Amino acid sequence: DAGVIQSPRHEVTEMGQEVTLRCKPISGHDYLFWYRQTMMRGLELLIYFNNNVPIDDSGMPEDRFSAKMPNASFSTLKIQPSEPRDSAVYFCASRYSGDNEQFFGPGTRLTVL
């Protein structure tokens, strides 16, 4: 299996622009998680889905952030409008409900100028 796939790996954008991050979970996994990693706040869970349904979005920082999972093999995290403080590495992870291990993607490094 190719593992969790994220795109793009790096994104540089200007303040105010819309940013869309993409994730393809491992086939057969029914949980999907979005995390943000910064030096100041460490690893934070933003939102997670089970069977494509959002279960807990309490970690989403504000209304500028939104996430969707239209099918079992694709999810997006959108920031609109982006701000410099959104600069971070965003990780996607997936898990099979019959196991306890989350598998992480390589991350998207976002820089908002």
Partner 1 sequence: AQSVTQLDSQVPVFEEAPVELRCNYSSSVSVYLFWYVQYPNQGLQLLLKYLSGSTLVKGINGFEAEFNKSQTSFHLRKPSVHISDTAEYFCAVSVNNAGGTSYGKLTFGQGTILTVHP
The CA distance from 31 to 10, in Å, is 24
97 binds partner 1 (CB under 8 A): yes
95 binds partner 1 (CB under 8 A): yes
33 binds partner 1 (CB under 8 A): yes
Site string for partner 1, 61-90 (x = CB under 8 A): ------------------------------
Nearer to partner 1 (CB atom), residue 81 or residue 106: 106
The CA distance from 101 to 94, in Å, is 9
Contact residues: partner 1, CB under 8 A? 4, 31, 33, 42-43, 45, 48, 50, 56, 91, 93, 95, 97, 100-107
